[in-house]
Amino acid sequence: QTPLWLDCDTGHDDALAILLAGHSPEVRLLGISTVFGNASLKHTTYNTRAILQAIDRTDVPVYEGAQKPLLRDPLHAPAIHGESGLDGTTCLPEPIVPVMKDMSAIDAMYVSLSSEPVGTPWLVATGSLTNVATLFKRHPDLASHLGGLSIMGGAVGGNFTSAPMGRVLGKGLRFGNHTATAEFNIYCDPEAAQSVFGNPVLAVKTVLVPLDLSHQFLATRAVQMGLLFGIGTPAHREPTSAAASPIRRLYFEILTFFAGSYAEVFGMTEGPPVHDPLAVAAAVRPDLFHCNVAGRKGPYEEERFQVSVVTEGEHGSSSDILNGPSQCGRTLIQPLPYGLPGTKVPRGCETQVLW
């Protein structure tokens, strides 16, 4: 089992990451830290505790992390996740377990990860990178101790002429999901992201799961139905959710709401991408993912990149900025010559294995 700490901003797909980390036989979930992002910190922490309650993992300690970025004002994503960050379900239980207050989230992450044998623990981040950046600034020795860091974030299609996200997102040539070029998690705190990707000890242990990969995993209606009644439910069978267990109903409602947001905001009617659980999967099942060296599939270890983040340009949530030319929050990836150490950016995966 891989000892794993999850840092998240619990919205709809983070809830799936918690389910995977909390019940995968390959994972020993050490703890969860929360960060602002999909909603305010108060909401993301509440959602995290409620999801742990729902999946019967109230033994996992929850720590509350950053409520705002290192240098900027916080941004949230109500158009995708609703005001609470986890709108659209009536099945969320009232969480009983309190938030841990014995130490700060940053110290808890450090104590927990550094107590594991060297080279074994993984940190998985599925929200803004504020907590992660602060952790390695305050405890630089942890970088060499970690087994790996897996991050859901970034959009790299536009660094290549084919710009695959343009087609997938259905909005001309845009390849970001927040601005035309920036993915939401990275955009939320670009300085934090740049400090994580710019740390050379960390960079070689980092796996980046960008939109280019996560948009290959769409929770189609068949997948949503599979959550309710089990994989293989015929897609034409409309669910009567009363027959399903509470946890199945909860995740069905979560995916149904998420699907509605993606249909409305991005015109993606085939189903929403399930970004965040992929970062957990990339940490513990690297064999499921592949890179694309010279047009050939290979283990994602084989292809390495130097990743950086644009921190200049206008930043904010006004529609002028979001639809404007600012490149702030864009992830740039530079392929490195074979054998040189750098960050792994898998861009392919055996989807049928994961579902």
Q: Is 80 an interacting residue with respect to ligand BDR (CB under 6 A)?
A: yes
Should residue 51 be labelled a site residue for ligand BDR when binding is judged by CB under 6 A?
A: no
Q: Dihedral sign for Cα 316, 319, 321, 323, please.
A: positive
In the bound state, the residue with its beta carbon closest to ligand BDR is 184
Q: Minimum CB separation from Ca ion for residue 229, in Å?
A: 27
Cβ atoms of residues 348 and 291 within 8 Å = yes
* Helix, strand, or coil (residue 299): strand
Catalytic entry in 12, 145, 275, 290: 275
**DSSP letter (8 states) at residue 2:** E
**Residues sharing a CB contact under 8 Å with residue 207, sequence separation 6 or more, in sequence order:** 148, 149, 150, 151, 279, 282, 283, 286, 300, 343, 344, 345, 346
- In the region spanning residues 82 to 141, those forming contacts with ligand BDR, defined by CB under 6 A, are 126
Window 274-313: contact mask with ligand BDR (x via CB under 6 A): -xx-------------------------------------
Among positions 14, 64, 212, 253, the unique one binding ligand BDR when judged by CB under 6 A: 14
Q: Which is nearer to ligand BDR, 262 or 305 (CB)?
A: 262
183 binds, among ligand BDR, Ca ion, none (CB under 5 to 8 A by kind): ligand BDR
Residue 275 is among the residues annotated as catalytic for this protein: yes
Phi-psi region of 176 (alpha: psi -120 to 50; beta: other; left: phi over 0): beta
Q: Shortest distance, CB of residue 12 to Ca ion, whole angstroms?
A: 9
Which contiguous run of DSSP H or E holds residue 71?
none
Q: Does 206 bind ligand BDR (CB under 6 A)?
A: no
Query: In a 3-state reduction of DSSP, which class is residue 137?
Result: helix
Give the Cα separation of 188 and 182 in Å (integer). Answer: 10
Number of residues that bind ligand BDR (CB under 6 A): 14
Annotated active-site positions, please?
Answer: 275
Residue numbers at the binding site for ligand BDR (CB under 6 A) = 11, 13-14, 38, 77, 80, 126, 152, 177, 183-185, 275-276
